[in-house]
Amino acid sequence: MKITKNNIPPYVAFKTFQTFLEFLSQGMPSRIDRSVWVNRFSGSNGTQLMTAIKFFELVDSDGVPSQDFNSLVSKDISIQKKTLRKILFKFYDHIFELDLDNATRYQFREAFKKFGTKEGVLVKCESFFIQAAKFSDISLSNHILARRHNNKSNSNEKIKSQTTQVSQSILSKKNSVEKNTNIVKIILDKYPEFDPSWTPEVQKAWIESLTKLYESLSN
CA angle 187, 190, 193 (to 5 degrees): 110
Question: Are 110 and 161 in the same domain?
Answer: no
**Number of domains the chain contains:** 2
Its domain, for residue 152, covers: 146-218
Is residue 56 within 8 A of residue 68, CB to CB? The reply is: yes
Question: Are 100 and 150 in the same domain?
Answer: no
Q: How far apart are CA 40 and CA 127, in angstroms?
A: 23
Question: Are 119 and 19 in the same domain?
Answer: yes
Domain boundary among 140, 165, 200: 140
Domain boundary among 97, 116, 140: 140
pLDDT single digits (tens) 121-140? 999 999 999 999 999 999 99
Question: Mean pLDDT score of the chain, rounded to an integer?
Answer: 83
Question: Are 173 and 79 in the same domain?
Answer: no
> Which among 13, 21, 149 is positioned nearest to 81, based on CA atoms?
21
Question: Are 110 and 211 in the same domain?
Answer: no
pLDDT single digits (tens) 30-77? 999 999 988 888 888 999 999 999 999 999 999 999 999 999 999 999
Domain boundary among 140, 158, 175: 140
| CA-based torsion, 40, 50, 80, 5: positive or negative | negative
Domain assignment present for 1: no
Question: Are 135 and 88 in the same domain?
Answer: yes
